[in-house]
Chain A
Amino acid sequence: MNYKKSVSLTIICLGALTILVTLTGQINHRWDGSRTIPVHQIPLKDEYDQDIIPTESYPLPYSTRYTCGPCHDYNKIHNGLHFNAVTSDQHGRPGEPWVWIEPKTGTVLPLSYRNWKGTWNPSEIGLTPWDFTLLFGRHMTGGGVAEPKDEEMSPESRWEVSGKIEINCMGCHSASRKQSHSEWAKQILRQNFRWAAAASSGLGEVWGMASRLPGTWDIFDGPNPDDTEWAVVPSVRYRLNHFDSKFRVFFDISNKPDDHRCLVCHSVSPVHLERFMADEDVHSTAGMKCIDCHRNDLSHDMIRGYEGEAIKSQKQQIADFSCIGCHTGKVTFKGAKTNAGRMGAPYPKHIGFPAVHFEKLSCTVCHSGPLPQKEFTRVRTSRANRLGIYGIAQWFTDFPNIIEPVFIKDQAGKITPHRLMWPAYWGRLEKEKIFPLKPADVQAAAKEILDVEEHIAQILTALLMNLEIEGIPVLVTSGKVYELNADGGLDVSLYSGEKPKAEIIWAIKKNGKIIPLVPEFDPSAEELDVEIETRIQKTLEALATFPDPPGEPALVYKNVMYQVVEGYLEVMERPGIIAEAPQWFWIKDNKTQLLASEFQIRTVVATVGFEQSLTEEQVELVLKSLAQAENRQKTKEKGKFFYISSGKMFSLDGTGQLTAAEHSAAEPIAWPLGHQVRPAQQSLGINGCTECHRDQSAFFFNKVEGVGPLKTQKVALLSMFRFMGKDKPFQKLFGLSFTVRPVFKVVLFISTLIIGSILILLILLALGRFSGIIEKRR
């Protein structure tokens, strides 16, 4: 090889290497052993890997893929636990599902891309990654399903407008108090996906709403100067004081995320607990961080810390971080002993504790979650009940109704405390296969059957249009007063005034008093009082603003009807109706219809002010509507529609009546709880065996009652011993045996004393004989 050739080859090789390094953009950062973390003063990059100049007029939001990616392998992180639900085939022990809540249809549907028992894969029920991200992006970490590949984007999605949600590194790793989860949730709701990380990190302010932009909008289109009020294009205004002269930003990074970052998505609190009474997990109190046990390397393949995880994942070092591994150092994996005592974990002596408990129970039975009591503890969790999002509106939901601790035998055969909830959803049963229905499909078929509260609220809203009433319009019925609330729904309070003249009265609440919508008058009088006439006319005009009214509004009192015709109040006789009190109607084709039907009033009375949002009557009507809709479609396969709630499957029988039956699809879904760990003094069993082993103990004999959005008496009732796979008579007998156990101990003690004394005597005699003392005494 001549000189020229070798120089050319060397140049080509060096060039190829440079290109390779540039393309991958990765610096292979191996830990040098220093326990410090570098200062993150770095340039921001947008999603096209271009430097962000904050002083530009329309800077793009920063991209974590390109800002953090040069030092931290984004694609490697992308396979971590928080991002790999769709791609991983190792799902481990069941965890908390995502719960799709839709109050109007009474849907409480547990979803998960992981194949955990009782959950539905979103794709099975027709939810695209776009739908899923819109529903749950508020508590997602970004990446994974929220960052689909181009070929995975469904045509109806709006990823091009909103952008994808890249992994929100700062969501976990920010040590700044400016990191705002509420801002994140707000931006996700506005479909400002690509702007959410910048907005929530506090690096800049984000304006505009991608949700209001046309589906054809593209980020290169830029802002729309013609619309600065409604369809405002999202944009970020970076806070310039965060940048240095080279436009580098200081990221206040926590290598080990602070607990409050984890708790954004992993908070669990009893519903009725006062904040000042809430204790931390005993590990946190001891100064530990979540990440001390739930650790990970760059792969972000986090240790979940449950027993058996090491065997499942075939990684020995994981075993150190389970309760047993850290506290006892038992042999857990291929004969290897765990490195117990890490972080000063104390060794539990478990004095007086029969060993059988360690075979049958997980550590969390006695040490985690609330103590079992007669009533289960109802909890709210961040992701299921939308906690931790602060603002004027109330974000959190009461459903799903999650209770704990429910002791269930887990996959490893050990009894473990679980959180439990009951699913509720509409579906179609076809050849024993369940097909859940989307809430939107149910609403489309059910029409006004489910819009009852909304209907009443709309009437009250329409009445508000009458500015002369100087009060709040209310509905008085069944001894209760219903009025509008800030969320567009109804609030209920008890009626304490005089007995109303009619069962249903539309009235005004003024200074706490209920007064009629129209003052008392004599309809048979020759001429009406002008004030009353005006009030009637204004009220009728206000009612006319009701969206899609079923007819023209009218007032009937005795046999006189008042109606606004061409702007004038017309008074006419109305034969056939004699109203003892003024009654408001819709009139169409000479047919009268009450402002709210008896069904609507009945339903509102039964549901408003209660946690349940549906009545059996509504369910029956919706099921009929669904069946009729299917009949109209003339599909070949006829299915049976059902509604699941409270552990029962409700469907129509041959005569069209609603019946409830048991079905595996109606069974509750449960997942083991790990936290919060209580101090040793609050362990279950600290006060003796009878905390569990007694007749009627909460541990064995508590009953889990089915709950759901349907108001019904037909609910499933499951005893705890059934979840544990235990025999009730035996547990009763065994529990009773503990009442005589003190006597039993005394008997054994006396026996050992007698036999022991004789044995000592025998030994002394033998010693005496062998030593010759007895002979000498003789």
Chain B
Amino acid sequence: MFGIIILVSLFAMIFALMFHHYRRVLTTAKINSADFKITDYFSWYVNRISKQISVLFKNSFKKSCQKLLKKVIIFRYPEVEKWSIVGLSLSFLFLATSGFIYALFFTRSLHGYALLFHVILGGVFSVSLSIVVVLWAPVYSFGTEKEKFSNDSPDRRETPRPVTVKQKILFWLFVISGFLLILTALTLMLPVFSLKDHLSMVDIHRYSALVALLSAIAFVYFTLAENRK
């Protein structure tokens, strides 16, 4: 059941974002969105992907990667923040991959070395998420500039670009689901709850992971989209 929910929600999310992107392209090209045809959309998308790949391999692969990395916004951040984001991204990538692969393709739940590394990188995820939340909370908090609780913060700095409400919502959604992920992982290790509670906790962990994954994808998409602007 959980596998079906993962697949449906992931496809829905990817389709929605792709469609959003297509509509944005249409708007940029000043084409009436009423003329939308699904076949046009797919052919556009295939062309775009192949173009990107050919660009990637046109120059040397190494140079292309370096160029791509320079484009990534996080490299403009200070060291601590930069490495926290790297830690958060990579650990989350591994956690999501290992967790969802087992949920989708294996009858048994996560086990063996995958589970061991899942737990270890869970620790990295919790530490890096805490740092990122502390550093980014002022930037992603709601309200007017004056109301932001970070105004009094001594290390207040300029953000590269103002963030949209969408990004803020997605960021906090990710933080809340991340928080639940860490909390459930912690409680599963404590000799406090009964088996029934454990099973509920595992379910919360799973669905939080799904929400975190979806919000992370959407967040990255909108951040990149905002950067384009």
Interface positions of A (Cβ within 8 A of B) = 348-356, 358-359, 688, 727, 730, 733-734, 737, 741, 744-745, 747-752, 754-756, 758-759, 761-762, 765-766, 769, 774
Task: List, in ascending order, chain B residues with CB within 8 A of A350's CB.
Answer: 194-195
B137, CB-defined interface residue at 8 Å: yes
Q: Find the A residue at minimum CB distance from B201.
A: A355
Do A747 and B195 touch (CB < 8 A)? Answer: no
Distance in angstroms between the alpha carbons of A358 and B129 in the assembled complex: 32
Do B192 and A734 touch (CB < 8 A)? Answer: no
B162, CB-defined interface residue at 8 Å: no
What sequence of 0s and 1s flags, for each residue 98-142 of chain B, a beta carbon within 8 Å of any chain A beta carbon?
A: 000000000011011100100110110011011001100100011
Do A752 and B189 touch (CB < 8 A)? Answer: no
Distance in angstroms between the alpha carbons of A754 and B194 in the assembled complex: 26
B133 to chain A: closest CB distance in Å? 5
Task: List, in ascending order, chain A residues with CB within 8 A of B123's CB.
Answer: 744, 747-748
Task: List, in ascending order, chain B residues with CB within 8 A of A748's CB.
Answer: 122-123, 126, 182, 185-186, 189
Q: Find the A residue at minimum CB distance from B185.
A: A748
Query: Can you identify 12 A-B contacts, CB atoms within 8 angstroms?
Result: A349-B195, A351-B192, A351-B193, A355-B202, A733-B116, A737-B116, A745-B186, A745-B190, A748-B182, A752-B186, A758-B133, A774-B147
Number of chain B residues close to chain A: CB under 8 A: 42
The answer to whether A355 and B112 touch (CB under 8 A), given A747-B127, A750-B130, A769-B143, is no
Task: List, in ascending order, chain B residues with CB within 8 A of A762's CB.
Answer: 137, 141-142, 172
Known: A755-B182, A759-B175. 11 other contacts (CB 8 A): A350-B194, A352-B192, A727-B112, A730-B112, A748-B189, A751-B126, A751-B127, A752-B126, A752-B183, A756-B179, A765-B142
Task: List, in ascending order, chain B residues with CB within 8 A of A749's CB.
Answer: 186
Task: List, in ascending order, chain B residues with CB within 8 A of A752's CB.
Answer: 126, 179, 182-183, 186
Distance in angstroms between the alpha carbons of A741 and B182 in the assembled complex: 14
B178, CB-defined interface residue at 8 Å: yes
Task: List, in ascending order, chain A residues with CB within 8 A of B178's CB.
Answer: 755
Do A730 and B113 touch (CB < 8 A)? Answer: yes
Task: List, in ascending order, chain B residues with CB within 8 A of A744's CB.
Answer: 119, 123, 189
A558 to chain B: closest CB distance in Å? 78
Do A351 and B185 touch (CB < 8 A)? Answer: no
The answer to whether A759 and B179 touch (CB under 8 A), given A747-B127, A751-B127, is yes
Instruction: Report which of B147, B175, B190, B202 forms a contact with A755, defined as CB distance below 8 A.
Output: B175
Instruction: Report which of B130, B143, B176 forms a contact with A765, defined as CB distance below 8 A.
Output: B143
Q: Find the B residue at minimum CB distance from A734.
A: B116
Distance in angstroms between the alpha carbons of A550 and B36 in the assembled complex: 112
Distance in angstroms between the alpha carbons of A532 and B178 in the assembled complex: 101
Instruction: Report which of A733, A750, A751, A765 forms a contact with B141, defined as CB distance below 8 A.
Output: A765
Distance in angstroms between the alpha carbons of A349 and B196 in the assembled complex: 8
B20 to chain A: closest CB distance in Å? 27
B163, CB-defined interface residue at 8 Å: no
Distance in angstroms between the alpha carbons of A751 and B123 in the assembled complex: 9
B149, CB-defined interface residue at 8 Å: yes
B3 to chain A: closest CB distance in Å? 17
Do A730 and B179 touch (CB < 8 A)? Answer: no
Task: List, in ascending order, chain B residues with CB within 8 A of A352's CB.
Answer: 190-193
Distance in angstroms between the alpha carbons of A358 and B130 in the assembled complex: 33
Distance in angstroms between the alpha carbons of A299 and B166 in the assembled complex: 72
Do A355 and B186 touch (CB < 8 A)? Answer: no
Q: Find the B residue at minimum CB distance from A753.
A: B130
Q: Find the A residue at minimum CB distance from B191.
A: A352
B198, CB-defined interface residue at 8 Å: yes
Task: List, in ascending order, chain B residues with CB within 8 A of A758's CB.
Answer: 133-134, 137, 175
Task: List, in ascending order, chain B residues with CB within 8 A of A745's CB.
Answer: 186, 189-190
Interface of A is mostly: helix
B217, CB-defined interface residue at 8 Å: no
A366 to chain B: closest CB distance in Å? 13
Instruction: Report which of B142, B186, B198 forms a contact with A353, defined as CB distance below 8 A.
Output: B198
B188, CB-defined interface residue at 8 Å: yes
Distance in angstroms between the alpha carbons of A106 and B134 in the assembled complex: 74
Distance in angstroms between the alpha carbons of A300 and B129 in the assembled complex: 64
Distance in angstroms between the alpha carbons of A621 and B190 in the assembled complex: 62
Do A349 and B189 touch (CB < 8 A)? Answer: no
Distance in angstroms between the alpha carbons of A348 and B195 in the assembled complex: 9
Contact residues, B154-210 vs A (CB, 8 A): 172, 175-176, 178-179, 182-183, 185-186, 188-195, 198-199, 202
Q: Find the A residue at minimum CB distance from B131.
A: A754
B166 to chain A: closest CB distance in Å? 17
Do B130 and A751 touch (CB < 8 A)? Answer: yes
B196 to chain A: closest CB distance in Å? 8
Instruction: Report which of A351, A727, A755, A766 forms a contact with B142, defined as CB distance below 8 A.
Output: A766
Distance in angstroms between the alpha carbons of A221 and B220 in the assembled complex: 101
Distance in angstroms between the alpha carbons of A356 and B102 in the assembled complex: 14
Distance in angstroms between the alpha carbons of A744 and B122 in the assembled complex: 10
Task: List, in ascending order, chain B residues with CB within 8 A of A733's CB.
Answer: 116
**Which one of A349, A351, A752, A761 has the greatest number of beta carbons of chain B within 10 Å?**
A752
Task: List, in ascending order, chain A residues with CB within 8 A of B108's CB.
Answer: 359
Task: List, in ascending order, chain A residues with CB within 8 A of B191's CB.
Answer: 351-352, 688
A745 to chain B: closest CB distance in Å? 6
Distance in angstroms between the alpha carbons of A681 and B179 in the assembled complex: 35
Task: List, in ascending order, chain A residues with CB within 8 A of B193's CB.
Answer: 351-352
Do A354 and B188 touch (CB < 8 A)? Answer: yes
Task: List, in ascending order, chain A residues with CB within 8 A of B142's CB.
Answer: 762, 765-766, 769
Do A755 and B194 touch (CB < 8 A)? Answer: no
Task: List, in ascending order, chain A residues with CB within 8 A of B186's CB.
Answer: 745, 748-749, 752
Task: List, in ascending order, chain A residues with CB within 8 A of B198's CB.
Answer: 353-355
Task: List, in ascending order, chain A residues with CB within 8 A of B190's CB.
Answer: 352, 745
Distance in angstroms between the alpha carbons of A358 and B183 in the assembled complex: 22
Distance in angstroms between the alpha carbons of A727 and B116 in the assembled complex: 13
Q: Find the A residue at minimum CB distance from B137.
A: A758
Task: List, in ascending order, chain A residues with CB within 8 A of B112's CB.
Answer: 727, 730
9 closest pairs, A vs B, by CB? Answer: A352-B191, A751-B126, A748-B186, A349-B194, A350-B195, A754-B130, A751-B130, A755-B179, A355-B198
Distance in angstroms between the alpha carbons of A592 and B126 in the assembled complex: 88
A356 to chain B: closest CB distance in Å? 7
A766 to chain B: closest CB distance in Å? 7
Do A765 and B147 touch (CB < 8 A)? Answer: yes
Task: List, in ascending order, chain A residues with CB within 8 A of B192's CB.
Answer: 351-352
The answer to whether A355 and B133 touch (CB under 8 A), given A748-B126, A752-B186, is no
Task: List, in ascending order, chain A residues with CB within 8 A of B175's CB.
Answer: 755, 758-759
Contact residues, B12-31 vs A (CB, 8 A): none
Task: List, in ascending order, chain B residues with CB within 8 A of A761's CB.
Answer: 137, 149
Task: List, in ascending order, chain B residues with CB within 8 A of A774's CB.
Answer: 147
